Amino acid sequence: MLEEGKAKIVTDGVFYNPRMKFCRDVDVVVFSELKAKSYLDALAGSGVRGIRAMLEAGYDNVVFNDKNPKACEVIRKNLEMNGLKAEVLCRDAVALMRERKFDHIDLDPFGSPAEFIDAACFSAKRFLSVTATDTAALCGSATVSGLRKYSSFAIKTEFYHEIGLRNLIGKIAREATKYDKSLEVLISWAKEHYYRVYVRFKSSPRLAGKLYEKIGFLYYCKNCLNRTWRNFYEEPEAVCSCGKKFVELGPLWLGELHLKEFVSNLRGEKSVEKLLERIREEINSVSYYNIHAICFKLRVSPPPLSKIIEKLKEIGYEASKTRFEGANLKTNADVEELKNVILALQ
């Protein structure tokens, strides 16, 4: 017997990852705000996420699916143990999503979600939430794997978590536009070994076309750590101001990583609230700067992150910490201006 949130479950050998409890803690906070009319836990495993959605987020029309018959037995047992009733299916998730539509679909696979995203974008009427644990393919550590799964080119950079998150959202966005759907990102983050994204769809051929104003390429200079970006409708960049060639990364999502009005309404327990607060405070920019990487280039010691942010604001720039762990900041200052601030603080 395991307890998580208000749920009591048994696993009986079915996959259950206790390290993802934090993710599910955030889920119930987000789901409470979504108020979806129907919800498919497409790869349900033990059923803990869907059960918590019912017990803690007020979801009542929940469908659990897992192609493993043993998992379906466990889900039924767990539903009964929590005094709940719901539809439990033992189907291939892609086939199910091609046959039926749901207000909210959740993809939390063991591994890459890539093979499920197309069908989920077809089936989801309003909301889609996706977990990806194949971070190496998304962030540039496994470039060929990223090309195969997500049709996007990436290399390892010092802001790799943001590249990974934007690659995942970019894949969702491109698949959605095939079905005349636009999207907005409600909230997203990276933690430890996974990325998590929640999007809201809107059916409109016109808006689906305009979505490519927020999809494009990031141009990165390995020499001076400069970066810029262009959407599909803009002229590409080739050479950095330092004279070196840019590396073109993408296509990936260039838009917002969260919707301010949505996140402002969310409230959670202490650890969840800490993440939400970082997201609320983060300024909108396509990438972050890692202070240690810049200081290594400058051959100086890193000043306190708070001092750098304070100085940038003092001279008229926007600056903030990020939702990503580490000595990272976002700013509308370019890399040379940031370097000058760091040198002035030595």
Which residue positions form the known binding site for Zn(2+)? 221, 224, 240, 242
Nearest to 209 by CA among 244, 253, 250, 177: 177
- Annotated binding-site residue numbers for S-adenosyl-L-methionine: 24, 49, 66, 92-93
196: which strand partners? 131, 189
In 3D, which of 278, 283, 275 has the Cα closest to residue 312?
Answer: 283
What own/partner pairs with CB < 8 Å and gap ≥ 24 does 113-119 have? Answer: 113/168, 114/149, 114/150, 114/171, 116/42, 116/43, 117/171, 117/172, 117/175, 118/175, 118/178, 119/93, 119/94
The partner residues of 106 in beta bridges, in order of sequence, read 41, 129
Residue pair 199/174 in contact (Cβ under 8 Å)? The answer is no
Contact 240, 220 (CB under 8 A): no
The strand pair at 124-132 and 102-107 is best described as parallel
Residue stretches of the annotated binding site = 24, 49, 66, 92-93, 221, 224, 240, 242
Q: Answer yes or no: are the C-beta atoms of 173 and 183 closer than 8 Å.
A: yes
**For the chain, what is the largest distance between any 2 Cα atoms, rounded to a whole number of angstroms?**
66
Angstrom distance (rounded) from CA 176 to CA 169: 10
| Cβ pair 105, 128 in contact under 8 A | yes
Residue keyed to tokens 């539809």: 87
